[in-house]
């Protein structure tokens, strides 16, 4: 029998699947397999419960296996499996776009759909460039991101992003990109609950970039209101307001990447609302369907959409889109998810739990190797001192937490990231903290 035929006959052969963002060899020696999920728990193939302290990569804000969402997806699959949104369209796409626009602040009232956060970021950057172009400002081509930022893995996203390992293997990236400094400084901010007092002034670096290149060359600034993937860095007080003011002064578009912060994570539909700052575009993904069906998108302000709506009626206004932009299953999942968020008041719930959540996390101060703890909304991060090699202690923590403590943690290097579903109970917050403490001690 050929090895390919042999493999086809062996269920669960671990070799063929090249796992993303995973050390494949270590994983395949001791896999962490998930077979089932319900509410706050995952279950291994043997039926062992694993408490989900991550909402599965910051996605499943409504928890797992929620019948309203499941049934909506099932109904939609039977009714209309797929139809394109190029030159045709289906009702759920309009319904979901209207619902999202209603949740967004100010005149952010048009929604462009794609399938992931990466696509959302690249779409927003392309819309920014095209917007200036259609308005006769084609020289505005520079894009500004931030050190330690994460905007997915497309070429646009890694170019404006600031996570070194995600960039350094992939060539020279997009030209004409600058980065603001990261907003984190342990000396000034360690063990802060919520937005740090120190660091608002770092937004002034945008003035320096404008002075260097001239405003007439700059298209857009993209930032996460809370930098998530790099280890939960909430915006310092006043920082986003300053960015907004400087962008307004120079006609530069401001994009908030809310792929994580959207849909309740910081206690509001969007972090823009929490901070009282209205960007020109918001990217979203993940929580829009509570992770059930891939979906992402960009919400744009009315003047941006309007700028494209000119020329002959038969002509396409924006040459951009994905085959699965606004897939019917994703739209049905999105509508059911938004219904559930509304009816169970999950955004308000996140807001109400924030203080208890932060207090509980801060009790981990003093555990071995803990250098800093940060939290905002229902997110948190714990920096551990690296062992001999960076990331080694973090990987040991990931293994221990899953195999021994029965909790799913997210590890970014040596930083533990915690983002439970918004349905997390107060007793489960205690359980997450206890299991995390056990894990930290086990890898000391
Ligand atoms: C802020 C932000 N933008 C973009 C992305 C990329 O999303 P995706 O993995 O769905 O492409 C992520 C993923 O974590 C993210 O946190």
- pLDDT value of position 300: 98
* Residue 214 to residues 132, 280, 293, Cα–Cα distance (Å): 15, 20, 42
Judged against a pLDDT cut of 80, whether residue 260 lies above it is answered with yes
- pLDDT value of position 290: 98
Judged against a pLDDT cut of 80, whether residue 33 lies above it is answered with yes
Q: How far apart are CA 193 and CA 357, in angstroms?
A: 10
Average pLDDT over residues 225-230: 98
Strands 142-146 and 218-223: parallel
Is 69-343 in CATH node 3.40.640.10? yes
32-62+345-442 folds as 3.90.1150
Tell me what the pLDDT averaged over the chain comes to. 97
Average pLDDT over residues 268-275: 98
**What number does the ligand 1 atom closest to the CA of 261 have?**
1
CA of 28 to the centre of ligand 1 (A): 25
383 DSSP 8-state letter: E
Judged against a pLDDT cut of 80, whether residue 7 lies above it is answered with no
Judged against a pLDDT cut of 50, whether residue 361 lies above it is answered with yes
Q: What percent of the chain has pLDDT over 90?
A: 97
* Single pTM value for the model: 0.97
Q: Which residue CA neighbors atom 3 of ligand 1 most closely?
A: 151
Q: How far apart are CA 22 and CA 31, in angstroms?
A: 11
pLDDT in tens, 288-319: 999 999 999 999 999 999 999 999 999 999 99
Residue 1's pLDDT band, with cuts at 50, 70 and 90, is very low
119, containing H or E segment: helix 117-134
Judged against a pLDDT cut of 50, whether residue 14 lies above it is answered with yes
Judged against a pLDDT cut of 80, whether residue 344 lies above it is answered with yes
Average pLDDT over residues 199-205: 98
Average pLDDT over residues 47-61: 98
Average pLDDT over residues 213-230: 98
Residue 13's pLDDT band, with cuts at 50, 70 and 90, is confident
Q: What percent of the chain has pLDDT over 70?
A: 97
CA of 57 to the centre of ligand 1 (A): 9
- Of 98, 407, 104, 427, the residue nearest 261 (C-alpha): 104
Q: How far is CA 338 from the centre of its chain?
A: 17
Average pLDDT over residues 69-97: 98
Ligand 1 contacts (CB < 6 A) are 116-118, 121, 150-152, 224, 228-229, 257, 259-260, 285
**What number does the ligand 1 atom closest to the CA of 58 have?**
14
Average pLDDT over residues 115-127: 98
Domains of the chain by residue range: 32-62+345-442, 69-343
Q: How far apart are CA 174 and CA 150, in angstroms?
A: 15
- Of 4, 79, 37, the residue nearest 290 (C-alpha): 37
**What number does the ligand 1 atom closest to the CA of 152 have?**
6
CA of 61 to the centre of ligand 1 (A): 15
Average pLDDT over residues 147-165: 98
């Amino acid at each position: 029998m050929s090895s390919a035929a042999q493999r086809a006959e062996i269920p669960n052969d671990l070799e063929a699947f090249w796992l993303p963002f995973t050390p494949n060899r270590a994983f395949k020696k001791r896999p962490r397999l998930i077979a089932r999920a319900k509410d706050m728990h995952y279950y291994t193939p043997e039926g062992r419960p694993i408490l989900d302290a991550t909402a599965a990569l910051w996605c499943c804000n409504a928890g797992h296996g929620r019948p309203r969402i499941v049934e909506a997806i099932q109904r939609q699959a039977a009714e209309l499996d797929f139809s394109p949104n190029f030159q045709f369209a289906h009702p759920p796409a309009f319904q979901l776009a209207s619902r999202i626009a209603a949740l967004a602040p100010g005149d952010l009232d048009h929604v462009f759909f794609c399938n992931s956060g990466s696509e959302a970021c690249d779409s927003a950057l392309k819309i920014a460039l095209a917007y200036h172009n259609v308005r006769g400002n084609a020289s505005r081509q520079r894009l500004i991101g931030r050190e330690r930022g994460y905007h997915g893995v497309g070429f646009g996203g890694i170019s404006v992003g600031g996570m070194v390992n995600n960039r350094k293997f992939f060539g020279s990236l997009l030209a004409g990109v600058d980065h603001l400094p990261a907003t984190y400084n342990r000396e000034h901010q360690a063990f802060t609950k919520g937005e740090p007092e120190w660091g608002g002034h770092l937004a002034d670096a945008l003035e320096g970039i404008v002075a260097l290149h001239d405003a007439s060359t700059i298209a857009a600034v993209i930032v996460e209101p809370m930098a998530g993937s790099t280890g939960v860095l909430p915006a310092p007080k006043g920082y986003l307001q300053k960015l907004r003011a400087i962008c307004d002064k120079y006609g530069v578009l401001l994009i908030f990447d809310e792929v994580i912060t959207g849909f309740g994570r910081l206690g509001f539909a969007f972090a823009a609302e929490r901070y009282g700052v209205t960007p020109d575009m918001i990217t979203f993904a993940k929580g829009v369907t509570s992770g059930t069906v891939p979906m992402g998108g960009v919400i744009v302000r009315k003047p941006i959409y309007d700028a494209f709506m000119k020329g002959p009626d038969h002509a396409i206004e924006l040459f951009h889109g994905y085959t699965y932009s606004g897939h019917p299953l994703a739209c049905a999942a999105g509508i059911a998810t938004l219904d559930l968020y509304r009816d169970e008041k999950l955004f308000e719930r996140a807001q109400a739990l924030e203080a208890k959540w932060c207090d509980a996390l801060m009790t981990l101060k003093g555990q071995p190797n803990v250098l800093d703890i940060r939290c905002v909304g229902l997110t948190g991060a714990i920096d551990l001192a690296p062992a001999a090699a960076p990331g080694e202690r973090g990987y040991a923590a990931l293994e221990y937490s899953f195999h021994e403590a029965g909790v799913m943690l997210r590890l970014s290097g040596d930083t533990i990231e915690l983002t439970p579903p918004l349905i997390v109970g107060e007793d489960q917050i205690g359980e997450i903290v206890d299991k995390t403490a056990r894990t930290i001690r086990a890898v000391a």
